[in-house]
Structure 1
């Protein structure tokens, strides 16, 4: 079975990192914009990129929370679809993975 404490630490550290990044994004989005229309257009494009990063970060936090719930439930490391163990290599790459390689490939 997997080393649950190790993965829990990894997940919690990543979650803290994501919250820190989301706070920086929020502060960047709240900064005053330039009065120049050309600069404002560029800033608007940059804001769209930041918002996408924020959305991606929130989705990863949801996946991390689900993985932490699986740790609490005793099902971490088992595929949510087929019930087979998720490989250590996949968990090392994506610690919040809910599906094994075979099930993710079938989606």
Structure 2
């Protein structure tokens, strides 16, 4: 369980760094938009991609934080729905899962 908690802590750190980079990009901390209209169009298209990536990272971070809370509560390897153990292989593949395979599919 400690190994998984360390992995989740590392994921949390990486996701927070990624979110910081996305937010810095959106705030134009690397400089204003290019004066060329064509370049501006490309940069604003990139903003849409960054927004999507930011949302995905936020969602994943929420899952990681929830999994860490469950580990701290002693429930990290128990399914949140059926309360049966989550298979170790599933936890290896998806460390922040809170559901066993059966409940995730159902």
Taking structure 1 as the reference length, what is the TM-score of the superposition?
0.90
Q: Deviations over 1:4-59 (max 9, x none)?
A: 21111000000001111111112222221112222111111111111111111111
Structure 1 position 78, deviation (Å): 0.8
Is 1:93 equivalent to 2:90 in the alignment?
no
1:29 paired to 2:26: yes
- Mapped pair 1:41 → 2:41: yes
Q: What is the 5 A alignment of 1:76-91? A: 76-91=76-91
Task: Note if 1:70 corresponds to 2:70.
Answer: yes
* RMSD (CA atoms): 1.0
Ranges in structure 1 where 5+ consecutive residues have no aligned partner = none
* Offset from partner CA, 1:55-75 (integer Å, 9 cap, x none): 111111111111111111111
Aligned equivalent of 1:19, options 11, 16, 21: 16
For 1:80 and 1:34, locate their aligned partners in 2 and report how far apart those are by CA, in whole Å. 49
Spell out, residue by residue over 1:68-104, the C-alpha distance to the aligned partner (whole angstroms, 9 max, x if none). Answer: 1111111111111111111111111111101111111
SS at match of 1:16: helix
TM-score, scaled to structure 2: 0.91
Unaligned regions of 5+ residues in structure 2, if any?
none
